[in-house]
Amino acid sequence: MGRYTGPKRRLSRREGVAIFAKDAAYIERKGAVAPGQHGARSRRRISEFGVQLREKQKAKRTYGLLEKQFARYYQMASKKVGNTGEVLMQLLETRLDNVVYRLGLASSRAAARQLVSHGHILVDNKKVNIPSFQVKTGSTVAISHKMLDNTQVKKNLTIAQTLPEWLDRKAIVGKVLRLPKRDEAEQGISEQLIVEYYSR
């Protein structure tokens, strides 16, 4: 499956927020000016559809998904029992690449995706190299022992960080304790606008 490989900062500028952590200082300093020659002038009023579209694009880009993938997650969420928006966020949060990122085994979702696709992540002691793999409650997620000498992995493991309450980690092994609640998922995304976008 393909993925976006273009300029990352361009995405943050387009959405007006720091989608990637390293862009936060830039957006704060320069302001959220849309990319392109006429970006500074494109400040006209956005329609209701435009607001919904921007929210969907922001969520899609935050989790590093393409259009068809994101639409498929929405379809899955709409068929499950419960609030469609919350179920959508749970599906996105329990992707393997996101779980690896949340556990602090990687510094970004892109780095986590690379660890997974290169076969360095074990789920319940079995190698899984599919970033979109849905991690179930009670499953363990660990980094392979051959990666313990990797400089970046060593650095990530030494950084003290607060894990979300739905996850637990001891050394290089993490565990999914339960499905995340909405306030434990990615903040700054209005899932209701995404539901409205797909329901129109």
User: Looking at residue 142, which CATH number applies to its domain?
Assistant: 3.10.290.10
Q: Are residues 127 and 172 in the same domain?
A: yes
Q: Which amino acid is residue 164, in one-letter code?
A: P
Which CATH number covers residue 72? 1.10.1050.10
Tell whether 90 and 186 lie within a shared domain: yes
Q: What is the pLDDT of residue 45?
A: 80
Q: 86-121 pLDDT, tens per residue?
A: 999 999 999 999 999 999 999 889 899 999 999 999
Average pLDDT over the chain reads 86
pLDDT tens figures, 33-58:
666 665 555 566 889 998 999 899 99
- Predicted pLDDT at 4: 74
- Looking at residue 115, its pLDDT comes to 94
d(CA 113, CA 115): 5
Q: Where are the beta strands (DSSP E) in the chain?
A: 121-123, 126-127, 140-143, 167-170, 173-176
Cα–Cα distance, 26 to 136 (Å, whole number): 37
Let me know whether 16 and 71 are in one domain: no
113 and 69 share one domain: no
| One domain for residues 144 and 174 | yes
**Model pLDDT, residue 71:** 96
Which H/E stretch holds residue 68?
helix 67-79
Residues 56 and 33 in one domain: no
Cα(41)–Cα(155) distance, integer angstroms? 42
Same-domain pairing of 170 and 103: yes
Domain count, the chain: 3
Q: Please indicate, yes or no, whether residues 80 and 141 belong to a single structural domain of this protein.
A: no
State pTM to two decimals: 0.85
Do residues 157 and 115 share a domain?
Answer: yes
- pLDDT tops 90 at residue 179: yes
Kindly indicate the confidence band of residue 29, based on its pLDDT and cuts at 50, 70 and 90. Answer: low
pLDDT of residue 6: 76
- Same domain flag for 68 and 89: yes
Whether residue 99 is found in the same domain as residue 174: yes
Q: What does the pLDDT look like over 5-14, one tens digit per residue? A: 777 777 777 7
Higher pLDDT, 26 or 148: 148
Mean local confidence (pLDDT), 129-140: 95
**Domain limits for position 77:** 47-94+182-200
Task: Let me know: does 5 contact 61? Beta carbons within 8 Å.
Answer: no
Structure token digits, residue 81: 């029992």
Counting runs of H as helices and runs of E as strands, what totals does the chain give? 9, 5
Same-domain pairing of 116 and 186: no
Question: Are the C-beta atoms of 158 and 142 separated by less than 8 Å?
Answer: no
